[in-house]
Amino acid sequence: MSTNSKPPRHFALIPAAGVGARMAAGTPKQYLPLLGKPMLRHTLEAFLGSELIAHTYVVVSPDDGYIDNVAGVAGVTVLRCGGPTRMDSILNGLREMRADIADEDLVLVHDAARPGLTPRLIRALIEGVGDHPAGGLLALPVVDTVKKIGNGVVNTVPRDGLWLAQTPQMFSYSLLLRALSSAPDANAITDDASAIEALGMSPKLIEGHPRNMKVTLPSDIRIAEMYLADKE
């Protein structure tokens, strides 16, 4: 699409093709119930509740048998093009979105397993990043003492300047597509910001919230439910 004078729109892209092996559950973790709803549904409702999001896309594996019962609502499009890695799923999703999005439009990539996201946090990210050319992401400053061990030796790592990356991570469509397409190793890209950084750019960090935690282990479910019970 050609560049025009219209302000950029904001689109959500949620990769949800993973199986959540560390959760050791009978279903992919994004479909596990939290307060009576599938985890992914909570995530979707955050974007559906934001007037700043033009549309939401969810990338799942071609044989996903759960998504139709979770994402069959207006404002959400399911893309059955998930790949073997998170980066592959996002790249495939971006290419599927091509007909509906302009190069300058902004894509908010968000983990399906972060159900504590809220419209307020989405607004904070969008307004905080503004028109920063390298985009940006939600993150939390490290407050605990950090230890590093190597060859049996323990050292304290200065925490000044250390942040824990969260999602959403927001970049222009063209920049994100270029960064991920040029990344040499899909397994080395643990978040989208690292692909942007590999281009020599520095995304902006916007302070997030602990409620926007990633559910990874069974013990995380109770904590996530505690945050979800608090509507903020």
**Exposed/middle/buried for residue 30 (C-beta within 10 Å: 0-12, 13-18, 19+):** buried
Confidence check: pLDDT of 150 > 60: yes
Q: Lowest-pLDDT range, 15-19, 117-121, 148-152, 191-195?
A: 15-19
170, 123 contact by CB (below 8 A): no
Distance CA 193, CA 201 (A): 9
Residue 24: what pLDDT?
47
Residue where the block lists tokens 């998170």: 86
For 115-131, write each residue's pLDDT tens digit.
999 999 999 999 999 99
Q: Where are the domains of the chain?
A: 10-229
CATH superfamily of 10-229: Spore Coat Polysaccharide Biosynthesis Protein SpsA; Chain A (3.90.550.10)
Q: Among candidates 35, 19, 15, which has minimal Cα distance to 111?
A: 15
What pTM was computed for the model? 0.93
Residue 19: what pLDDT?
62
Q: Give me 41's structure tokens.
A: 């549904």
What are the phi and psi torsion angles at 56 (to 5°)?
-125, 135
For 21-47, write each residue's pLDDT tens digit.
455 456 889 999 999 999 999 999 999
Distance CA 20, CA 160 (A): 32
Q: Give the three-state DSSP class for 210.
A: helix
- pLDDT, mean over the chain: 92
Q: How confident is the model at residue 189 (pLDDT cuts 50, 70, 90)?
A: confident
Residue 91: what pLDDT?
96
